[in-house]
Amino acid sequence: MKKILKHTRTATLCLVAVVSFSCSEEDPIASSVTNYPVIEIMGDDVIIVEKGQPFNDPGAIATIDGK
């Protein structure tokens, strides 16, 4: 019976220690909204260029939150 009480007491103390030290005293990080970029690729889906010919990249337009 003494062994059971000793193990129960030890387990309880360990649990209390874990719970006590697991709490963070730091301020929580402020939440913010993330706006992802929208990338629009200009030009055709497939561009065929002969070897040795010049290539002009049609480019792309990137916007964030419609701006």
pLDDT tens sequence across 26-48: 777 777 888 899 999 999 999 99
Is residue 11 included in any domain, yes or no? no
Give me the domain span that covers residue 51.
36-67
Is residue 26 included in any domain, yes or no? no
Is residue 6 included in any domain, yes or no? no
Is residue 48 included in any domain, yes or no? yes
Residue 60's pLDDT band, with cuts at 50, 70 and 90, is very high
Per-residue pLDDT, 32: 82
Is residue 51 included in any domain, yes or no? yes
Per-residue pLDDT, 5: 74
Is residue 66 included in any domain, yes or no? yes
Per-residue pLDDT, 24: 66
Is residue 40 included in any domain, yes or no? yes
| pLDDT tops 90 at residue 54 | yes
Per-residue pLDDT, 39: 95
Q: Where are the beta strands (DSSP E) in 1-67?
A: 37-41, 60-64
Is residue 65 included in any domain, yes or no? yes
* DSSP codes, the chain: -HHHHHHHHHHHHHHHHHHHHHS--SPPPPP-PPPPEEEEE-S-SS----TTS------EEEEETT-
Count: domains in the chain: 1
